[in-house]
Amino acid sequence: MDFEQVRTFLSVAANGSFLEAAKRLHVTQSTVSARIQNLEDYLGTRLFVRNRAGASLTPTGKRFLRHAKSLLLTLEQARHDVGLPGRFRASITVGARIALWEGFLPQWVGHMRETAPDISIRSEISFEEDLMRRLVEGTLDIGLMYTPQHSPGLEVEHLFDERLVLLTTNPEQAWPGPDYIYVNWGPAFYAQHRDNFPDLERPAQTVNIGWLGIQLILCNGGSCFVPIRMAEAFIDSQRLFVVPDSPEFKLPAYMVYPRESEAEVVSQALAGLRLFAETERHKSSPGD
């Protein structure tokens, strides 16, 4: 089994067709068929059922799909690490929720580039489920998120608390309006939201990331809860406004990393994250 076999398997699974996979991979259909045949021979099982509609995964193919994604990621990570130019002494992979890439993590990356220019940084955006899975698998060095799960061998460390504020494009409009967008910030936010608005009907719009909520209300008007960090520039330019007398909610942000990691680069990265987290804590403290 090799890299191209796994990549071809994932392409066929995603496109549901050997022909379409061949087009996407820029190879012939016979090459795709040969790779899949060799992979099936190696695994000793049939992965696809071919029919007029294309190709569909067999039950064993569906089980292999999750492993194939992990294998491809591991191979790409290995190629990235082994193929580092000589000017780099190490590499680190950091993944986080998109909201944490607004201001906080880009500043940390800049700090790392200044203090450790010989470290290669791979930055990624993902959700908690994928971040935790990759931390367990060892393909992610540090994950930053809002609702981490505790897992053996992983350390969960609180960084700072986000201040979620209710923003609107029209401060004169009574709230809640029909264009309110519920941003799913996780179970803790849901509980706070329910307690403060027990009679609020299910909003017409729901999104899974704050950035998307902001884009929708900027384009169409409306309101949503987002971290104040993401909102400051829009508030300063008077494109968005804090809803008068609206509550603020607390959303803890955490970093998760291997407990027994001996890599110097990870320790250096964690120290930098703690430094910038301290700044965020001062910003959100009462009176600031």
Task: Lowest mean pLDDT of 43-57, 67-81, 193-207, name the range.
Answer: 67-81
Tell me, what's the pLDDT at 288? Answer: 46
CATH class of 86-158+256-284: alpha beta
Global confidence as pTM: 0.71
pLDDT higher than threshold 90 for residue 72 = no
Share of the chain above pLDDT 90, in %: 63
Neighbour-count burial for 155-167, b at 16+ CB within 10 Å, e otherwise: ebeebbbbbbbbb
Tell me, what's the pLDDT at 220? Answer: 96
Averaged pLDDT for residues 71-75? 73
Tell me, what's the pLDDT at 15? Answer: 86
Say how many C-beta atoms besides its own lie within 10 A of residue 80's C-beta.
13
Pick the CATH number of 3-81 from 1.10.10.10, 1.10.1740.10, 3.40.50.2300, 3.30.450.40: 1.10.10.10
* Architecture, CATH, for domain 161-251: 3-Layer(aba) Sandwich (3.40)
Any idea what the Cα angle at residue 179 is, between residues 175 and 181, rounded to 5°?
A: 95
pLDDT higher than threshold 70 for residue 31 = yes
Question: What rounded mean pLDDT belongs to the chain?
Answer: 89
Highest mean pLDDT among 65-74, 103-112, 258-267, 275-284: 103-112
Phi-psi category of 267—alpha, beta or left, where left has phi over 0 and alpha has psi -120 to 50? Answer: alpha
Averaged pLDDT for residues 124-149? 89
Where in the chain are the domains? 3-81, 86-158+256-284, 161-251
